[in-house]
């Protein structure tokens, strides 16, 4: 993390100058957490921020599908782990792109299928551009817990939902986020 990477973009590059927050969720996030995460995401989507993610984990996909409506205030950044020119936009992404509310970012590569190496580069690229990170759900011992611990030891603002599911991560420096304090804590 923190290394400078060559990347390519499609969409509104001015979004990179906006306050940005990345969201991550474990692939194994329990379904019962989805409604709470959607409520928090909807509140976040009404702020003047850019919400960034790879949008690949099931919860991240759910939030993009259910929470990224055409009436959101936030802009969206999608980080891809493969060749940007091979990526097919969804209908929602095309509408957001047409409205200058979407930015696609990818490492400069000709790889068509995501591989672990390129997923790691995508994440390194994201962390080089964003220093506010919300971990919606983390399974102990996984990649996200490693990121969480690394970011806490650097100059990042690390957020967790006020939720007992993440109670094993009660570390010094973690900012607890809920629907009522989103705007205040992000400074927007």
Q: What are phi and psi of 171, to 5 degrees?
A: -115, 160
For 138-149, the pLDDT digits (tens) are 988 889 999 998
Instruction: Give the mean pLDDT of 175-180.
Output: 84
Tokens of 13: 């590059």
Return the pLDDT at 2. Answer: 44
Return the pLDDT at 120. Answer: 82
Handedness of CA 46, 47, 48, 50 (dihedral sign): negative
Tokens of 26: 């474990």
* pLDDT tier, 183 (very low <50, low <70, confident <90, very high otherwise): confident
DSSP assignment of 17-39 equals GS-EEEEEE-TT--GGGHHHHHH
What is the domain partition of the chain in residue ranges?
A: 7-186
CA distance 36 to 108: 36
Is the pLDDT confidence value at 178 over 90?
no
More confident residue, 34 or 110: 34
CA distance 122 to 114: 10
Look at the block and give the residue holding tokens 């960034």. Answer: 52
Query: pTM of this prediction?
Result: 0.89
User: Topology of domain 7-186, per CATH?
Assistant: Rossmann fold (3.40.50)
* pLDDT tier, 130 (very low <50, low <70, confident <90, very high otherwise): very high
């Amino acid at each position: 993390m923190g290394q400078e990477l060559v990347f390519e973009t499609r969409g509104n590059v001015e979004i990179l100058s906006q306050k940005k927050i990345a969201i991550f969720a474990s692939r194994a996030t329990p379904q019962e957490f989805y409604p709470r995460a959607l409520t928090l995401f909807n509140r976040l989507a009404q702020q003047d921020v850019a919400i960034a993610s790879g949008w690949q984990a099931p919860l991240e996909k759910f939030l993009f599908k259910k929470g990224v409506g055409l009436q959101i205030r936030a802009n969206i950044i999608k980080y891809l782990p493969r060749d940007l020119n091979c990526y097919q936009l969804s209908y929602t992404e095309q509408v957001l792109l047409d409205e200058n509310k979407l930015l696609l970012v990818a490492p400069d590569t000709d790889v068509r299928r995501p591989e672990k190496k390129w997923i790691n580069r995508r994440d390194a690229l994201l962390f080089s551009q964003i220093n506010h990170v919300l971990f919606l759900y983390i399974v102990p011992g996984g990649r996200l817990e490693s990121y969480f611990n690394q970011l806490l030891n650097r100059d990042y603002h690390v957020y967790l939902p006020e939720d007992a599911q993440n109670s094993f991560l009660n570390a010094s420096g973690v900012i607890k986020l809920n629907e009522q304090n989103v705007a205040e804590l992000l400074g927007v």
